[in-house]
Amino acid sequence: MIGIIGAMEVEIAHLRDQMQDTRVETVSGIDFYCGRIRGREVVLAKCGIGKVFAALCAQTMILKFGVECIVNSGVAGTLTSELHIGDVAIATACVQHDMDTSPLGDPYGLLSGINVVELPADQTMVQALDRVCREAGVNHRLGPVATGDQFVHTMERRRWISDTFGAVAVEMEAGAIAHVCYVNRVPFAVIRVISDEASGEAQIDYASFVKKAAATSSDIALRWLAA
């Protein structure tokens, strides 16, 4: 069974529309939709906003539904001049930009205990998504995706995150899903379509483009399932 997580209704609606033989189970307030999409067994969930909801959703998918891998599909702010609204970021790794024990001499983003900053995405899934994006003809980049419990909307914070982690996109859930997958040794991948520039008019852009960006991300996920 493949796990697919979106943070918001708009990020899972199209995928759920394509699901057949759907049954729903609710755990910890999250609805898990089990069924077949493009002939593949899938459990699909809207986790909610931020790292804690994302982590509990991923852990539930692993423990209760025994997923073999997890894909996180959704929207993000861009951190690079190479990605604009509607373009696609495929994570090579995830980092948590708000994890900060640097006053103790640690590097920014260090996940103490497992002692890594970057949580690598599954290479095979990344390559498959890269291929899907190329075939779909969308402008896309592979690179680290940065996660934190904040909507990034200033050039100062955007620059700090991209300079510190070399990340191409910023959002609020992928790094938590990656963290859960890492400690459980479950392969994961992240598809994020740009909804805003993470600076300047980010709030306005986000409101205007979130729906379209989420639909593009779902389309990439559907193509990947069918491949």
Residues that bind ligand SAH (CB under 6 A): 7-8, 49, 74-77, 151-152, 170-173, 195-196, 198, 202, 206
Q: Which of 11, 87, 118, 219 is catalytic?
A: 11
6 membership: H or E segment, kind and range: strand 2-6
Residue number with CB closer to ligand SAH (40 or 84): 84
Q: How far is the CB of 226 from ligand SAH (least distance, A)?
A: 25
Residue number with CB closer to ligand SAH (127 or 203): 203
Residue number with CB closer to ligand SAH (106 or 160): 160
Pairing assessment for the beta strands 119-120 and 40-46 based on DSSP bridges: unpaired
Q: How far is the CB of 196 from ligand SAH (least distance, A)?
A: 5
100 flagged as catalytic: no
Q: How far is the CB of 202 from ligand SAH (least distance, A)?
A: 5
CA atoms within 13 A on the CB side of 85: 17
Alpha-carbon dihedral 11, 13, 16, 22, rounded to 10 degrees: 120
Q: Which residue is nearest to ligand SAH (CB)?
A: 77
Q: Which of 196, 197, 205, 219 is catalytic?
A: 196
Helix axes 9-17, 202-226, angle to 10 degrees: 30
Residue 9, Ramachandran bin (φ over 0: left; ψ between -120 and 50: alpha; else beta):
alpha
Active-site residues, by number, are 11, 196
